[in-house]
Chain A
């Protein structure tokens, strides 16, 4: 597979079906280190399912997933995350009963070296680790404008802020690759623009590789270097924002959706 050389994250002819429904079919994809790539497609096209396959939520029936040259197909999600791929969820999944800070700290847990007994008996080594984790988490919250909310219950926050907590939580896992599933959904245009700036900002700051699903065309076209289009689980186009905008297949896929909306 010479074409996959140089790929940071690669999907090789991945397929998955739910009963009779082919959600993703022979999906090929590569992400090079440092890239910011968008994944777009009509509702139900299989975008989220692609994410779920990468992170190990679902195991593909065919095809393989490679990360840094290693075959990670079938790894459990926690192992994938520890290997360096973190994500956010389209329909947010914060830990509603925990504070915002604790939500972010959960992502630091897998880095903890102290044992349970060290933690339960408050050994100095553990206290030090915990303090460092808190500093790191607070730094991230601050970066996302959430520091004032650190001690609020995450479940009580408004929608837009919950989205940002999701991003902070994913970043706290120290990922190499960040998967963002519709991060701007439910945000107003002004918030969306701030989010765009933020995404480009953290990418440079943390040297991240980002793969992003988004409905907001302005956001996708504005910040992505490359865009991948999926429809009915099949990859239908790939290229720069300009190329995608002019691609007749993409236009018809989206027109098809609009036609459905009016019917």
Chain B
């Protein structure tokens, strides 16, 4: 592998990684607050892509408006799922909440299959995404550059919300100690609702960008990205937002580099990520930035 190919793959890895990061944040935020894996998050990502598909390809709404509309609608879907499915099982044993999440995930996937069909749909990405860039010897597609740039923009907005606004402070308080926060008079359910909205909005951004990068969308498109993003959240340290970002980039780079270094392994690209997960669980279960939580006895 020469330098320019390496550079190209580096950009590709960052690009893929930034999508995982967007998705990983939703997992990590919900886990941080509710200590539960929102299996449906990967399907929210798919829902976001379909909203964009319908508004752009079917209803011919201009790109920027369509994107904002889809992000908003996906945020509402996320909130609705929390309200309808997760809130009733909040105080049930943890396994009930997990089973519910698996059920919601499967529901969304099959709702997709029933309504839009299993056949992948062609997505129209905006023209600036398909322009080629030449940097030295390397030719890089616009998508590979724009995806991380747009992602970065959204991450900054998200960081601002979480670390600088009152809602964000409430989110962090709830994730540190949900009972104490409730005692201080914070409406915890509302904060959780906002968390789902924010996580789902980011998932929608991820879904739309994913559709630009791989312009065939299908109801099952979220399964593998979702699973890898969760691995990214674990690698970064579950519960930690900066950790999710770092984890996302690491997973993206590992995946791209595995295939780049040894094309024979391309059939195993998903397997490699599993290996990373197991290695982390064995050697550093708290991830890169996570801290050990001591359960109160």
Chain A residues in 8 Å Cβ range of B297: 48, 52, 57-58, 89
A18 in the interface, Cβ–Cβ < 8 Å?
yes
* Complex-state Cα separation, A18 to B294, whole angstroms: 8
In chain B between 188 and 247, which residues have their CB closer than 8 angstroms to a CB of chain A?
Answer: none
Chain B residues with CB below 8 A from A18, complex form:
294
Closest to A18 in B: B294
Contacts of A57 in B (CB 8 A): 297
Contact of B294 among A48, A58, A89 (CB under 8 A): A58
**Bound complex: CA A89 to CA B297 (Å):** 8
Complex CA gap A52/B297 in Å reads: 8
Q: Once bound together, how far apart are the Cα atoms of A18 and B297, in whole Å? A: 13
What distance in Å separates the Cβ of B290 from its nearest Cβ neighbour in chain A?
A: 14
| Residues on B with beta carbons closer than 8 Å to the beta carbon of A52 | 297
Complex interface: chain A residues within 8 A of B294 (CB): 18, 58
A89 to B295 CA separation, bound complex (whole angstroms): 14
The complex places the Cα of A58 from the Cα of B297 at a distance, in Å, of 9
**What string of 1s and 0s marks CB contacts (under 8 Å) between A46-66 and chain B?**
001000100001100000000
> What residue of chain B has the Cβ atom nearest to residue A97's Cβ?
B93
User: Using an 8 Å CB-CB cutoff, how does the interface string of B267-297 with A read, 1 for contact, 0 for none?
Assistant: 0000000000000000000000000001001
Interface hits, A10-33 → B, CB 8 Å: 18
Size bracket, chain A contacts: under 10
For A52, the closest partner residue in chain B by CB is: B297
Q: Mark B58-75, 1 if CB is under 8 A from A, else 0.
A: 000000000000000000
Q: In the complex, how many angstroms separate the beta carbon of A200 from the nearest chain B beta carbon?
A: 27
State A18–B295 Cα separation when bound (angstroms): 11
**For the complex, what is the distance from the CA of A48 to the CA of B297, rounded to whole Å?**
8
Task: Provide the bound-state CA to CA distance between A58 and B293, in Å.
Answer: 11
Least distance between A254 CB and chain B CB atoms (Å) = 24
A44 CB, min distance to chain B CBs, angstroms: 12
A225 CB → nearest B CB, Å: 27
Closest CB of chain B to A226's CB: distance in Å? 25
> A221 to nearest B CB, angstroms?
27
Q: What is the distance, in angstroms, from B180's C-beta to the closest C-beta of chain A?
A: 12
Cα of A58 to Cα of B296 in the assembled complex, Å: 10
Nearest A residue to B291, CB-CB = A19
A89 surroundings in chain B (CB, below 8 A): 297
Chain A 89-121 residues near chain B, CB threshold 8 A: 89
For A58, list chain B residues within 8 Å (CB).
294, 297
Residue of B nearest to A93 (CB): B297
CA A57 to CA B295, docked complex, whole Å: 9
The docked-state distance in angstroms from the alpha carbon of A48 to that of B296 is 10
Distance in Å from the Cβ of B292 to the closest Cβ of chain A? 10
With CB as the reference atom, state the residue of chain B lying closest to A59: B294
Closest CB in chain A relative to B120 CB, distance in Å: 46
Docked complex Cα distance between A73 and B294 (Å) = 17
Q: How far is the CB of B240 from chain A (nearest CB, A)?
A: 14
Q: For the complex, give the distance between the alpha carbons of A147 and B294 in Å.
A: 36
A103 to B297, CA, bound (A): 18
Separation of A52 and B294 alpha carbons in the complex (Å): 11
Q: Which residue of A lies closest to B176 (CB)?
A: A19
Say how far B297's CB is from chain A's closest CB, in angstroms. 5
Which B residue sits closest to A48, measured CB to CB?
B297
* Interchain CA distance A58-B294 in the complex, whole Å: 8
CA distance A48 to B294 in the complex (A): 14
CB closest chain-B residue, reference A89: B297
List of B residues within 8 angstroms of A48 by Cβ = 297
Complex: A123 Cα to B294 Cα, angstroms: 41
Output the nearest chain B residue to A58 by Cβ-Cβ distance: B294
Of all chain A residues, which has the CB nearest B295?
A: A57
Q: Measured between C-beta atoms, what is the minimum distance from A23 to chain B in Å?
A: 10
Q: How far is the CB of A170 from chain B (nearest CB, A)?
A: 14
Q: Please, how many angstroms separate the alpha-carbon atoms of A57 and B297 in the complex?
A: 8
Distance, CA A18 to CA B176, complexed state (A): 12
CA distance A53 to B19 in the complex (A): 43
Q: How far is the CA of A108 from the CA of B215 in the complex (A)?
A: 61
Cα distance, A178 to B297, chains bound together (Å): 17
A205-242 contact mask (Cβ, 8 Å, vs B): 1 or 0:
00000000000000000000000000000000000000
Per the bound structure, the CA–CA distance linking A228 and B294 in Å amounts to: 26
Which of chain B's residues has its CB closest to A96's CB? B93
Residues of A near any B CB (own CB < 8 A): 18, 48, 52, 57-58, 89
Q: List 5 A-B contacts (CB under 8 A).
A: A18-B294, A48-B297, A52-B297, A58-B294, A58-B297
Q: Which are the 4 A-B pairs with shortest beta-carbon distances? A: A57-B297, A52-B297, A58-B294, A18-B294
